[in-house]
Amino acid sequence: MMACLLEAPLRISVLSEVTATSRHYVDRLFDPDPQNVLQGVIDMKNAVIGNNKQKANLIVLGAVPRLLYLLQQSSSSLELRTECAVVLGSLAMGTENNIKSLVDCHIIPALLQGLLCSDLIFIEACLRCLRTVFISPVTPVQLLYTDPTVIPHLMSLLSRSRHTKEYITQIFAHCCKTPEHQTVLFNHSAIQNIAPLLISPSDKVRMQALKCFSVLAYENTQVSMTLVNVLVDGEQLSQVFVRMMQRDKPIEMQLTAAKCLTYMCRAGAIRTDDNCIILKTLPCLVRMCSKERLLEERVEGAETLAYLMEPDVELQRIASFTDHLVSMLADYFKYPSSVSAITDIKRLDHDLKHAHELRQAAFKLYASLGSNDEDIRKKITETENMMDRIVSGLSESSIKVRLAAVRCLHSLSRSVQQLRTSFHDHAVWKPLMKLLQNAPDEVLVMASSTLCNLLLEFSPSKEPILDSGVIELLCSLTQSDSPALRVNGIWALMNMAFQADQKVKVEIVRALGTEQLFRLLSDPDTNVLMKTLGLLRNLLSTRPHIDQIMSSHGKQIMQAVTLILEGEHSIEVKEQTLCILANIADGNTAKELIMTNDDMLQKIKYYMGHSNVKLQLAATFCISNLIWNEEDDSP
């Protein structure tokens, strides 16, 4: 106790001592003699370098507004203004809190204003500080775009020196986060200005310029289309990127160049069968997934590769046999490894931090790999513990992992064979159902879409899912605001109703309610309408079912059919509706609903003479069912 009592005042005195020296630095900024002020700023600079405590002290003591004032005063000497920018840059190098304080003091507009000065040294100091502020995650990037004159001015400064090149490209690379940002930069000739920097003698400049192109081209057709036609020193840009992917180049450069080409390819600017994609970008990204790479690089590599080959089955096939990619990805699930837990606490921490990212990246890549080819899906499901990993991924705490796992499951659920075997063996429907209970929309879309496949007639999971009370859940999905969820809900019901028991059908109709059914039939989304008609068609199959449902809901259904046949709908919709009519005609008692409806018979007649063959056929099918029934009834 005594010791504590003695220690406490001691600490305070040390602290006050520190604050006193810091106070002294700040006081000197207010000296009437400009020469003393300059010396004060220089001393401050030397005092804060590498000293986070000192930085925090000075910020608390209000050095920042004064430094900014001095920096902005045109009466200050250039030397003083430059030193102020340097000190501010040094303060920005500290903690995130420092950056927040600087941004709160409006450092960004002040420094941007400073760029209008003609002195290069001062400009460079301002840019260095701006760079440090902008690359911090706590700085709102929008601040770069508030004043529309800033971007063109930065473009004009770009080629001034090695440092302006480096800092400005670094700022752009970090502050281009939305399509709007891309457009602003593009409109101010970012491509023409930055392209020559790709062959700069400075490694840093080359790297930052490359990063700019990767953020500019991401999901941007306009930029991508422009990029393919750019020449750098007589060479096509894509070839410059290919050279940057050479295996002796720094990994960061290889990876970023591969991203650029990936984005250009996805935007349609480069064909997927171009050698620079098939023989260079794809193998480069596969290499990034290897065990030799850092965890961060493996995450980015896998995500980029997944994105590159998503729409192209040939790329998926090539990737599936390149460098054992499928089994290489299995390693992504082994973090934190049991070894790291014992040996190295630092590594454990590092592994833990990246474990989720690794898992979700692997799931994404598996999803992309298996989205088209049955053989690849088989290869994936045969990977060690694959289904178990997906099952546990579906219930992970990280939303990103859950989403990726369900994407992967969805991709694999397109395989009839897998639905029949591994999906059932591992009872994937259980975690999937759980996931559907309470999840954000993007997860729900994927999960319900997967559920659609699991409810297909030949899926052995269909029965247990039915028993788990899925119908209510699917009906509630059909009331969602999201068209994708409505489609999936009704789609799943449609699949469920296919060749189902009377009991199930009745339950569907009951749970959905005719009101909701009619609402869905007038849904603005054609997909929803089509699947709802499909559901009706599946409900109205086999004679007893038809008669049973029509006896209880005949009136409403006939109304709906009339409505659709009279409305402005596509051929497909009308065809599907006529098919429903044909099914109704197949019923024993149900057919009377048509036979007694003159208007309906007229409509069928009309469609028999329709110019579209599909509609003609469907209408004829209707008539045939009506007649066949009659024959059957009169022995």
Q: By the criterion CB under 8 A, which residues form the site for another protein?
A: 246-248, 279, 283, 318, 321-324, 328
Which one, 67 or 376, has the nearer CB to another protein? 376
Question: From CA 353, how far away is CA 312, in angstroms rounded?
Answer: 32
Which one, 228 or 278, has the nearer CB to another protein? 278
Which one, 301 or 489, has the nearer CB to another protein? 301
Least gap, CB of 324 to another protein (angstroms): 4
Instruction: Please check whether residue 367 is in contact with residue 385, taking contact to mean a CB–CB distance below 8 angstroms.
Output: no
Q: Which two tokens stand for residue 404?
A: 């990726």
Least gap, CB of 329 to another protein (angstroms): 12
* CA distances from residue 299 to 135, 330, 337, 428, 615 in whole angstroms, order as listed: 21, 13, 17, 26, 51
Which one, 323 or 441, has the nearer CB to another protein? 323
Question: From CA 486, how far away is CA 342, in angstroms rounded?
Answer: 49
Which one, 299 or 318, has the nearer CB to another protein? 318
Q: Which two tokens stand for residue 43?
A: 């001393």
Which one, 248 or 633, has the nearer CB to another protein? 248
Which one, 101 or 322, has the nearer CB to another protein? 322
Least gap, CB of 626 to another protein (angstroms): 55
Least gap, CB of 366 to another protein (angstroms): 17
Which one, 249 or 610, has the nearer CB to another protein? 249
Least gap, CB of 399 to another protein (angstroms): 33
Which one, 36 or 246, has the nearer CB to another protein? 246
Residue type, 484: A
Q: Which two tokens stand for residue 461?
A: 């999971």
Least gap, CB of 588 to another protein (angstroms): 57
Which one, 422 or 576, has the nearer CB to another protein? 422
Q: Which two tokens stand for residue 199?
A: 């062959």
Least gap, CB of 315 to another protein (angstroms): 11
Least gap, CB of 275 to another protein (angstroms): 9
The closest of 228, 277, 279, 284 to 255, measured between CA atoms, is 284
CA angle 558, 561, 564 (to 5 degrees): 150
Question: Residue 232 phi/psi, 5° resolution?
Answer: -115, 115
Which one, 121 or 294, has the nearer CB to another protein? 294
Which one, 108 or 326, has the nearer CB to another protein? 326
Which one, 244 or 406, has the nearer CB to another protein? 244
Question: Residue 136 phi/psi, 5° resolution?
Answer: -80, 140
Least gap, CB of 473 to another protein (angstroms): 41
| Chain mean position to CA 454 | 25
Which one, 246 or 602, has the nearer CB to another protein? 246
CA angle 12, 13, 14 (to 5 degrees): 90
Helix, strand or coil, per DSSP, at residue 446: helix
* Long-range CB pairs of 71-80, under 8 A, 24+ apart, other chains included: 71/110, 71/111, 71/114, 72/110, 72/113, 72/114, 76/34, 77/34, 77/38, 78/117, 78/119, 78/121, 78/122, 79/38, 80/34, 80/37, 80/38, 80/41
Least gap, CB of 286 to another protein (angstroms): 8
The closest of 425, 347, 361, 422 to 393, measured between CA atoms, is 361
Question: From CA 241, how far away is CA 281, in angstroms rounded?
Answer: 9
Question: From CA 255, how far away is CA 241, in angstroms rounded?
Answer: 10
Least gap, CB of 320 to another protein (angstroms): 9
CA angle 97, 99, 103 (to 5 degrees): 120
Residue type, 85: A
* CA distances from residue 579 to 229, 528, 606, 614 in whole angstroms, order as listed: 52, 17, 15, 11
* CA distances from residue 321 to 145, 303, 327 in whole angstroms, order as listed: 45, 18, 10
Least gap, CB of 243 to another protein (angstroms): 10
Least gap, CB of 322 to another protein (angstroms): 5
Which one, 254 or 629, has the nearer CB to another protein? 254
* Long-range CB pairs of 605-608, under 8 A, 24+ apart, other chains included: 607/565, 607/574, 607/578
Least gap, CB of 232 to another protein (angstroms): 21
Residue 231 DSSP label: E
Least gap, CB of 246 to another protein (angstroms): 6
Q: At what angle do helices 483-497 and 470-477 cross, to 10 degrees?
A: 140
Question: From CA 198, how far away is CA 194, in angstroms rounded?
Answer: 7
* CA distances from residue 468 to 296, 330, 390, 430 in whole angstroms, order as listed: 40, 32, 21, 9
Q: Which two tokens stand for residue 128?
A: 């260095």
Residue 119 DSSP label: -
Instruction: Please check whether residue 123 is in contact with residue 117, taking contact to mean a CB–CB distance below 8 angstroms.
Output: yes
